[in-house]
Chain A
């Protein structure tokens, strides 16, 4: 049977992608940030999964105001990096895993989560920047990827609680798949940032680090935190952090298994307008 081996959490700031694409990653501004991912790149090589289930949000790229799915699972064979207005990022196309994605959709929908099934979708920086941070600049991404887009653009976004429970349903779905695949689940976005209005530039180091502590140690308590706390403390766009709860909810300890092992933790301010946070948690065999 397939199993979830680890979860990875990271911010997905677009400027990080631009810095890498334009060869600025060794400049003094960016160097400390990329250094925080040196461990992670090696870790991913040493712990190569068969599939990555990548939770992210679309930023008015594939989904305009014509349609706003709360949870959308990409079941296509491949996904093209989007032109977000600056031209597409020069990164490999994303190869999907239609069989596993369809299996997850079937299981999770029957578990009472109403996913939108997407067979044609360009993927934006929300999905490609985490891959760049974890893989560098390869000719191809290391494995197939299932994009899972969450609406965090138009309020109301799903609650932390809903995301956490959805993660549990995704874990059940993956672990009922017959093929013995090693699957990683990634939760992306955040950390504290606000991109709009006179409060733009808000960063809350204390909130972010308390979030990381609690996400690791007591995710059920973190899931109970209401939206407004994220908005007030971590900025209007800090609400993206609810997506980390999907990945955390998919870990074994939530279902009575062993506590995951924290193998890497990193925090850095700033990347453009945003605080960058990053964790790797491994399930114990």
Chain B
């Protein structure tokens, strides 16, 4: 029997379940290694060489090098692990979260100060909310893309 997954129809959301965890095991464990200051230094000195020490897929390495967190998550990354890359880069959780929406840091921060993203239209895929696939990227980047 397949695992029951009632959460696959939430837009813009990947639930870190056993399947994602298996897919992302080495990616996430690489992230974990960055909790040691000496590893952060080695990674920053030569990112590619450091990544090559890990049995990650080439695509996972490319996603890390690109700092594309949505891509990392599709490949099994979990945000609490990926946050160690952000910490290594000196980025805050808010900067990391915002980067996945396509919004600028300022746009995302302003959205949060105005009360955050509404759940309206963002509960099920196929609704009309701003987290839906057809409305990416968000913010000015999205306005440019659709202009």
Whether chains A and B associate is yes
Q: Say yes or no: A232-B28 contact (C-beta < 8 A), given A197-B13, A203-B115.
A: no
Which chain B positions have C-beta within 8 A of A226? 6
Contact among B12, B28, B40, B78 with A198 in the assembled complex (CB-CB below 8 Å): B12
Q: Tell me which residues from 82 to 96 in chain B have a Cβ below 8 Å from any Cβ of chain A.
A: 83-84, 86-88, 92-94, 96
Interface flags, B1-37, vs A, CB<8A=1, else 0: 0000011001111111110010001001101101111
Q: Say yes or no: A153-B108 contact (C-beta < 8 A), given A196-B79, A198-B11, A233-B123.
A: no
Complex Cα spacing A236 to B79, Å: 11
Question: Is A224 positioned at the interface, with any CB of B under 8 Å from its CB?
Answer: no
Q: Tell me which residues from 44 to 92 in chain A have a Cβ below 8 Å from any Cβ of chain B.
A: 59-61, 64-66, 82-86
Interface flags, B89-121, vs A, CB<8A=1, else 0: 000111011101110000010011101111100
Complex Cα spacing A232 to B119, Å: 8
Complex Cα spacing A247 to B28, Å: 31
Complex Cα spacing A194 to B10, Å: 12
Q: Judging by beta carbons under 8 Å apart, are B136 and A236 in contact?
A: no
Question: Is A115 positioned at the interface, with any CB of B under 8 Å from its CB?
Answer: no
Q: Judging by beta carbons under 8 Å apart, are A65 and B16 in contact?
A: no
Interface size on B, residues (CB 8 A): 60
Which chain B positions have C-beta within 8 A of A64? 28-29, 32, 81
Question: Is A205 positioned at the interface, with any CB of B under 8 Å from its CB?
Answer: yes
A82 to chain B, nearest CB (A): 8
Q: Say yes or no: A198-B138 contact (C-beta < 8 A), given A236-B15, A270-B113.
A: yes
Q: Judging by beta carbons under 8 Å apart, are B87 and A59 in contact?
A: no
A–B Cβ pairs within 8 angstroms, 26 of them: A65-B29, A82-B35, A85-B84, A154-B16, A154-B18, A155-B16, A195-B79, A195-B93, A197-B14, A197-B131, A198-B12, A198-B102, A198-B131, A198-B138, A199-B131, A200-B101, A201-B98, A202-B116, A202-B117, A203-B117, A228-B6, A228-B7, A232-B124, A233-B123, A270-B112, A273-B93
Chain A positions near chain B (C-beta within 8 angstroms)? 14-15, 18, 29, 59-61, 64-66, 82-86, 153-156, 192, 194-205, 207, 226-228, 231-233, 236-237, 269-270, 272-273, 275
